[in-house]
Structure 1
Amino acid sequence: MTYTSAPHMPVPAGLLSPTGNAPQRLIDLMSDGFYLLLMIQRRQVPEHHQAFSAAIKQFFTRIENAAATAGIASEDIYAAKYAFCATIDELILSASDCPFRDQWELNPMQLVMFGDQLAGDKFFTYLEDLRSKGGVRLQALEVYHVCLLLGFQGKYRLEGSEQLGYLTARLGEELVFLKGKRTAFAPHWASPDRVAHLLRRQVPLWTPALVLGIVGAISFTAFSLTLSTDTQAQMALLDNVIQLPTRTASLTITLP
Structure 2
Amino acid sequence: MQTIKFEEIESNILNQDNAELKQKGRNYIVEAAIPLLNRASQMKYFQSKLSTQEILNLLRKEIEQFEEVAEENGATYETVKAARYCLCTLLDEFAAKNGWATQEWSAHSLLVTFHNETWGGEQFFQLLDRIKTEPQKNINLIELMYYCLVLGYMGKYQVLNNGKVTVENIKKDLEKIIREYKGTTSNNLLKDSVDKKGLFIAKGKRIPLWSILVSGLAVAVLTHTFLNWKLAQQTNNVNTRINALQVQQNLPISNERVQLLAPLLKNEIDNKLIQVYEIPGKSTITILGDELFASGSDKIQDRFYPVLATVSQALNNVDGQITVSGYTDDRPISSATYPSNWHLSQGRADAVKAILLNYIRDESRVRSEGKGSDNPVVANNSPENRAKNRRVEITVYIQPGSKQLATTTGVNVQN
- Asked if Structure 1 and Structure 2 have the same fold, meaning a TM-score greater than 0.5 normalized by the shorter chain, the answer is yes
- Find the counterpart in structure 2 of residue 155 from structure 1: 156
Alpha carbons 2:56, 2:105 under 8 Å: kept: no
CA RMSD of aligned residues (A): 1.8
| Alpha-carbon separation, structure 2, partners of 1:155 and 1:90 | 10
Partner of residue 92 from structure 1, selected from 95, 110, 114: 95
| Alpha-carbon separation, structure 2, partners of 1:123 and 1:64 | 18
Alpha carbons 1:156, 1:164 under 8 Å: kept: yes
- Find the counterpart in structure 2 of residue 32 from structure 1: 35
| Alpha-carbon separation, structure 2, partners of 1:141 and 1:163 | 17
| Alpha-carbon separation, structure 2, partners of 1:46 and 1:179 | 40
Identity of aligned residues (%): 18
Superposition map of 1:127-138 within 5 A: 127-138=128-139
User: Which of the pair has more CA radius of gyration?
Assistant: 1
Output the amino acid matched with 1:66.
Answer: V
| Alpha-carbon separation, structure 2, partners of 1:107 and 1:61 | 16
Residue 47 of structure 1: CA displacement? Answer: 2.6
1:132 alignment partner, SS class: coil
Output the amino acid matched with 2:102.
Answer: R
Superposition map of 1:17-56 within 5 A: 25-45=28-48, 47-56=50-59
| Alpha-carbon separation, structure 1, partners of 2:155 and 2:27 | 29
Superposition map of 1:1-256 within 5 A: 25-45=28-48, 47-96=50-99, 98=100, 100-159=101-160, 160-180=163-183
| Alpha-carbon separation, structure 1, partners of 2:49 and 2:157 | 26
Alpha carbons 1:46, 1:52 under 8 Å: kept: no
Output the amino acid matched with 2:82.
Answer: A
Structure that is richer in helix per residue: 1
Output the amino acid matched with 2:152.
Answer: G
| Alpha-carbon separation, structure 2, partners of 1:26 and 1:44 | 28
| Alpha-carbon separation, structure 2, partners of 1:44 and 1:149 | 21
Output the amino acid matched with 2:115.
Answer: F
Residue 118 of structure 1: CA displacement? Answer: 2.7
2:85 alignment partner, SS class: helix
Residue 107 of structure 1: CA displacement? Answer: 2.4
2:139 alignment partner, SS class: helix
Residue 102 of structure 1: CA displacement? Answer: 2.5
Residue 130 of structure 1: CA displacement? Answer: 1.7
1:93 and 1:142, CA in 2 relative to 1: closer, same or farther beyond 3 A? same
Residue 88 of structure 1: CA displacement? Answer: 0.5
Residue 44 of structure 1: CA displacement? Answer: 3.1
Unmatched runs of 5 consecutive residues or more in structure 1:
1-22, 182-256
Output the amino acid matched with 1:45.
Answer: S
Residue 123 of structure 1: CA displacement? Answer: 0.6
| Alpha-carbon separation, structure 2, partners of 1:165 and 1:103 | 33
Residue 146 of structure 1: CA displacement? Answer: 0.7
How many residue pairs get aligned? The number is 157
| Alpha-carbon separation, structure 2, partners of 1:114 and 1:44 | 27
Which range is displaced more, 101-110 or 132-141?
A: 101-110
| Alpha-carbon separation, structure 2, partners of 1:131 and 1:49 | 36
1:30 alignment partner, SS class: helix
Residue 24 of structure 1: CA displacement? Answer: 6.5
Alpha carbons 1:95, 1:101 under 8 Å: kept: no
Post-superposition CA distance 1:190-247 (Å, at most 9, x none): xxxxxxxxxxxxxxxxxxxxxxxxxxxxxxxxxxxxxxxxxxxxxxxxxxxxxxxxxx
1:176 alignment partner, SS class: helix
1:24 and 1:153, CA in 2 relative to 1: closer, same or farther beyond 3 A? closer
Alpha carbons 1:110, 1:117 under 8 Å: kept: yes
Structure that is richer in strand per residue: 2
TM-score, structure 1 as length reference? 0.58
